[in-house]
Structure 1
Amino acid sequence: MLYLAEVQKKGGVIRSTKVELKLLACQRGENNWSSVPDEVINAPDDCSNYNAGALVMVELTGSKQVQRHSEAGRQLVTILQNFSRMQDRSKSQEEEIEQWKESLTYQSQELNRRELELETRQEQIQEMEDDFAKLEQQRQEIEGLRESVEQQQQEYDRKSQELEGAWAHLQGEMNRLEERQGELSQMTALDDEKAQQMQELLDRLSGAIAPTETVREELNQSYGILNQQREGYDHQLQSLDQERGEAQQRQEALDGNVHHLQQRWQEYKAAQIALETAKTELAEQKQTLALKQDYINALSAQSKQQEELQKHFCHLAESSDQFTLGGVDISALDQMPLEELQQTVDNLTKDLEKMAKFVGIQEEELTAQQEEIETIKGQIGGASEYDRLRLESELADEQDRYRMLEETLVGQRRTVQERRDVLKQHQQVLSRRKGEHTENGQGQKVDLSPMLNRLDELKHEVSEQLKQTQAELQGLQDGVSQQQANVEQQASEQEVRWAELQELEQAMLVEKAAVGELWGRFNSVQEIAQQANGNLSTLQEKLDAIAVIMNQFQETSDYQLQAIAEMRQLITSLTQNQAPEFVS
């Protein structure tokens, strides 16, 4: 298990320093760390290189034994970077959640407002339906009144017929009375029997006249009810005009929102095309990056082959007397004093030993570096995601150090070989001059230095090309990273736009349904209002017709009553022995 620990050192001048590790935190998951209660464990001996107070990452067994340890600086930076990214992601998610909450709150408020509007509209429609029901009831009452008037009209016609019969009978009596005028002129008065009969006829005529006050009163009440209905209808027309204005405003707003939504969709499609273009360019850049990487690998392989060839020439010069890495002026050595030549050989030997020892140490360090690289590669295979990132970073650093050390050793190996070859030539001349050399002479040696110089030039050219290509690769990687970030940002913005457009389109559909329902209610109410207006007009016409009939009926009744009154005066004058006066 991986822990974060603090290095503590205890000790003084007399006793040796004791190194301990104070555990601070423990890794519970990939990005999950928890604090550890105060716990101190003994540190291995190789932890003495750490300074007191240094933070280290230690991997412990179940028995709290240290398996591996390393400085925690780079890992802490990685952890803090991951934590920062998680915080940014969490903050972004919280902002999205707040936006959704605000959107849901707004939608809830809008739905509540629409529910209140619908309830208000339903109440208004219910009131209008109640008014229409009352209007229908009043129409039925007026129909009943009209039927009653028609019955009274029939009764009036019947009584008029009776009155005409009585009038005809009275006219006949009057004619007979005129015929007997001469006889009546000699008489002082009508006899009681005739007067009684004429009074009975007049009473029958008076009773046959139908009363019109009740019908006129009911007709006036019907006019009052009709006027009230007219006022209610006018008020409903005003409310209907307001509803029409509101519906038109909402329709205009809806049309504007639909146009704006269409523009937003066009912008989204244009941005989507730009995103696809950016993705295509990113793919092309990645392909170019892969080609550059292949070229770098080829240059690296070529550089390694040149190094191997240099090593082979150096080994050839070292293992064979027929080859040399640099020429020595033999004639100058022959003329040099023997003591000076001996001193030169000794100096060259000491320098070669120092140089060879230094190169040997670096060779061992290079071997250890290679072993460390192989160890890290083996650890990467079974490591967790967090450890794998850390190990890959360490592997890159170790490989860079190995490459730099190897490049340094190439020149140093060649220098050692050149010095060894020069020493050998000095030793051969010294042995020959001392008479210790038993061979007849030394053959002509092949100088490999021009080839090595040419290899150095080629390697330098390859190295320059490699550096230039790596710089170009770095630029491409930066461009690809920037393009990748831009593409991801555009994709994220497109997702946000898509969600917003879907939300707007859904709200638009809801608004369309609401406006359509509002227009439907308006059309229904308008149709009912038009029908009610037609019914009111029909009732107005019927009441006007009834009023005309009542006026005619009233005039006829007044004329009949006047005639009856005159007949009564005539009978009275006849019964009082007065001369009868007939009314023309």
Structure 2
Amino acid sequence: MLYLAEVKKQTRGFISGIKTELKLLACQHNDQSWSAVPGDEMIVCEETNTWGEGSLVLITLGHNRQLQGAPEQATPELIRQLQKISRLMEKVKDEQEKIEQWKQSLTYQSQELTRREMEIEARLEQVEQMESEFEYLERQRKELDESWDRLRNAQQRLEENQLQLGPLGNLPPEQSQSIQAFIQRLTDDPNRISSLENSVHLAIDSFKHQQATLDGYWQRLEQQKKSLQQQQQEAKRLQETVELRQQELQSTRASIEQAKNQVQIQETILNSKREFLGRLNLNLQTIQEIRETLLSLARGSDDPEIEQKIDRDSLENMPIPELEDLINKQQKDLEKFVLFVNDQEEELSFQCQTVDELLARLQNVHESERWSIEAELAEEQERKRMLDETLFGQRRNLKERQGILLQYVRVLRRRRGMFDTEQEANKINLEPVVMQLIEQQQERQEEKQSLEREIEHIQNNLQQLKEMLEHQWSEFEQKSLAVEQQQQQYQQVLFDLAKFQSQVELEQEVLQPIQDQLSATRQYIESLSHLIH
């Protein structure tokens, strides 16, 4: 697990070199989050690099709290974390600004709705007033109809009376003139006709005033229709923009899928290379075991590599007490090294369990969490590989130390006069075979180094592809959010447009019957005016 630590104290030993005390401050979890380490836990490490007290470093600890690898300076990681926090704060700030804009837009829409409701109420009041005036005019029209009916009845009765009286030509001129004057007085009622003319003139003036008011409403309705057409065109342009952004979003999605396929191909190649590397390591291990088996069969035949590292002349000339001290010292170092290798073996076992757990989680993980788990799995597999390679060298080093210690013991026993007769009797010259195995081992080692370089190159390419994929995914999320916002804006525009269109249609439905009724009544009044004059 990765830890952030602070250098507290550095001491220089006489033999062990520099010892550094590190205070654990925070640890990184599998989900890439950090948490503080409780207490004052200290870790001691031995490194050749010197760090100043108070410096911040990154270290990796195994399950047994053993330091893995060398400490690294924490400044780059802190900078990356601060950059992530800064980007997150910018996103939060942008979201807050968008929320504030939405609030302002909602406030403006609420005010606009209130204003429109007040306008509709005012128009309804005007319509009610106009209806009252129409009712008054309708009453006047009915009164005029009744007056006309009475006038026609009077004329009919007068005509009947004239028929009953007969022709006036037989009467004297004075009586005929008197009767004509009486008929004219009955026919012409100046007070009634004058009152009727005044009522007709008032009705015509009222009609003109109401028509002027209606003309204002009709003009406003035409302006609203023009505004409605403009809003419809704007909604159409916004729809085209949303469709274009959706096409771009689909193109970005296709690029992401292509990048995913490329990552899967590279991961397949990487796994194949790693499998081949595992078989190569197994081959190297097999060669080493065969070589050790031959040496153990020969017993008297010593490992040429170990022979090259032993200065027999120095051992033969060294005083026996000093040789015994040297053997005791090497034996103690060997015991410490055995314990260290055992700890590494245990840590490798824990690491294998971690990799197996991550592989099991990856089988049933959600798509949104797959990338983080795959990245964690790749990291844990890399740690496992490095630990395995380190243990391979440490096992070989352990056997080499055991062989050297065995040769020292043999020299000491021979110098004391304790000869191994069984070894001398069974001594076989297998040096040519062992040298051939060493050559094969060197060839496989070169192949292994070349394969490790290829794996490292593929890992770098894979890391670049994943970074590119992560960038494309971030861009896709931003575009998706923008398209969603534009869709919401488009839906809001459609809602406002439908509401405005309904308002225009409602006004037209209200004004048209009023206009028709006003026109019909005015035509009737004008006809009555022509009859009076």
Q: TM-score, normalised by structure 1?
A: 0.64
Most deviating of 102-111 and 91-100: 91-100
Alpha carbons of structure 1 residues 55 and 68: separation in structure 2 relative to 1, 3 Å = farther
Among candidates 133, 137, 145, match of residue 132 of structure 2:
137
For residue 74 of structure 1, the aligned residue among 71, 74, 78 is 71
Q: Determine the structure 1 residue equivalent to 2:470.
A: 488
**Do the aligned partners of residues 242 and 489 (structure 1) sit closer, same or farther apart at CA in structure 2, a change above 3 Å counting?**
same
- Please name the residue that 2:8 is paired with: 6
Q: Indicate yes or no: 2:223 matched with 1:228.
A: no
Which residue, 12, 20, 36 being the options, matches 1:33? 36
> Is the CA contact 1:325–1:447 (under 8 Å) kept in the aligned structure 2?
no
**Per-residue CA shift, 1:455-479, capped at 9, x if unaligned?**
2221122111111111111112122
- One-letter amino acid of the counterpart of residue 135, structure 1: M
Aligned pair partner of 1:206 in 171, 185, 191: 185
Alignment of 1:443-454 (within 5 A): 447-454=429-436
Corresponding position of 2:267: 286
> What is aligned with 2:523?
541
Q: Find the residue that maps to 2:170 and give its secondary structure.
A: helix
Shift of 1:495: 3.1
Cα–Cα, structure 1 residues 53 and 503, in superposed 2: closer, same or farther, change >3 Å? closer
Cα distance change, pair 457–173 in 1 and its aligned pair in 2 (3 A)? same
Alpha-carbon distance, 1:525 to partner: 1.4
Alignment match, 1:108:
103
2:131 counterpart letter in structure 1: E
* Counterpart mapping for 1:316-465 below 5 A: 316-317=297-298, 319-320=299-300, 349-350=316-317, 366-374=337-345, 376=347, 403=392, 447-465=429-447
- After TM superposition, the structure 1 = structure 2 runs for residues 558-569 of structure 1, keeping only pairs within 5 Å, are none
The answer on whether the counterparts of 1:162 and 1:208 sit within 8 Å (CA) in structure 2 is no
Residues of 1 paired with 2:26 and 2:404: CA distance?
A: 52
Q: Structure 1, residues 224-264: CA drift from partner, whole Å, max 9, x if none?
A: 11111221122112211221122111111111111111121
Asked if structure 1 preserves the Cα contact closer than 8 Å seen for 2:7 and 2:20, the reply is no
Aligned to 1:519: 501
Counterpart in the other structure of 1:508: 490
Note if 1:237 corresponds to 2:218. yes
Considering only aligned residues, what root-mean-square deviation do their CA atoms show, in Å? 5.3
Conserved 8 A contact 1:292-1:469: yes
Letter in 2 for 1:517: K
SS in 1 for 2:171: helix
Task: Map Cα deviations across residues 334-393 of structure 1 (whole Å, 9 max, x no partner).
Answer: xxxxxxxxxx99678449x99x9699798667535413424655887999xxxx999999
CA distance in 1, matches of 2:383, 2:267: 26
What letter is aligned with 1:102?
Answer: E
- Give the aligned partner of residue 119 of structure 1: 114
User: Which amino acid letter does the alignment assign opposite residue 457 of structure 2?
Assistant: G
2:24 & 2:435 partners in 1: Cα distance? 57
Which residue type is aligned with residue 487 of structure 2?
E
Question: For 1:175, what is the secondary structure of its paired residue?
Answer: coil
Residue 217 of structure 1 pairs with residue 198 of structure 2: yes
Question: Measured at CA, do residues 218 and 206 of structure 1 come closer, stay the same or move farther in structure 2, by a change above 3 Å?
Answer: same
Taking the aligned partners of 1:347 and 1:8, their CA distance within structure 2 comes to 38
Offset of residue 309 of structure 1? 2.2
User: Which residue number corresponds to residue 529 of structure 1?
Assistant: 511
Which residue among 145, 149, 153 is the counterpart of 1:154? 149
> Aligned partners of 1:368 and 1:443: how far apart in 2?
35
- 1:99 alignment partner in structure 2: 94
Cα distance change, pair 237–484 in 1 and its aligned pair in 2 (3 A):
same
* 2:285 equivalent to 1:304: yes
Higher mean Cα deviation, 281-290 or 462-471?
281-290
Alpha-carbon offset, residue 514 of structure 1? 1.4
Shift in CA distance, 56/77, structure 1 to aligned 2, threshold 3 Å: closer
- C-alpha contact (below 8 Å) 2:130/2:210 kept by paired residues: yes
Distance 2:197 2:348 in 1: 117
Deviations, residues 294-315 of structure 1 (Å, cap 9, x unaligned): 1111111111111222223334
In structure 1, the partner of 2:369 is: none
Letter in 2 for 1:219: V
Quote the Cα distance in structure 1 between the aligned partners of 2:466 and 2:486: 30
Question: Partner of 1:6: helix, strand, or coil?
Answer: strand
Counterpart residue number, 1:249: 230
Q: CA deviation at 1:443?
A: 11
Return 5+ residue gaps in structure 2 as ranges: 12-18, 57-63, 305-310, 355-375, 415-420
**Can you list the C-alpha shifts for 1:424-471, whole angstroms capped at 9, x where unaligned?**
xxx9xxxxxxxxxxx9xx999864333223222211221111111111
What residue identity is the alignment partner of 1:490?
Q
Q: Which moved more, 1:108-117 or 1:534-543?
A: 108-117
Question: Matches of 1:345 and 1:216 in 2, distance apart?
Answer: 151
Decide whether aligned partners of structure 1 residues 97 and 468 sit closer, same or farther in structure 2, where only a CA change above 3 A counts: same
Q: How far apart are 1:494 and its partner, in Å?
A: 2.7
Aligned to 1:61: none
The AA in structure 2 aligned to 1:550 is: I
Which residue of structure 1 lines up, in the alignment, with residue 16 of structure 2?
Answer: none
Structure 1 unpaired stretches of 5+: 10-18, 58-66, 179-189, 327-343, 428-438, 552-584
Q: Secondary structure of the residue that 1:212 maps to in structure 2?
A: helix
Task: Report the Cα distance in structure 1 between the residues aligned to 2:338 and 2:69, rounded to whole angstroms.
Answer: 26
Q: Is the 8 A contact 1:7 1:50 kept in 2?
A: no
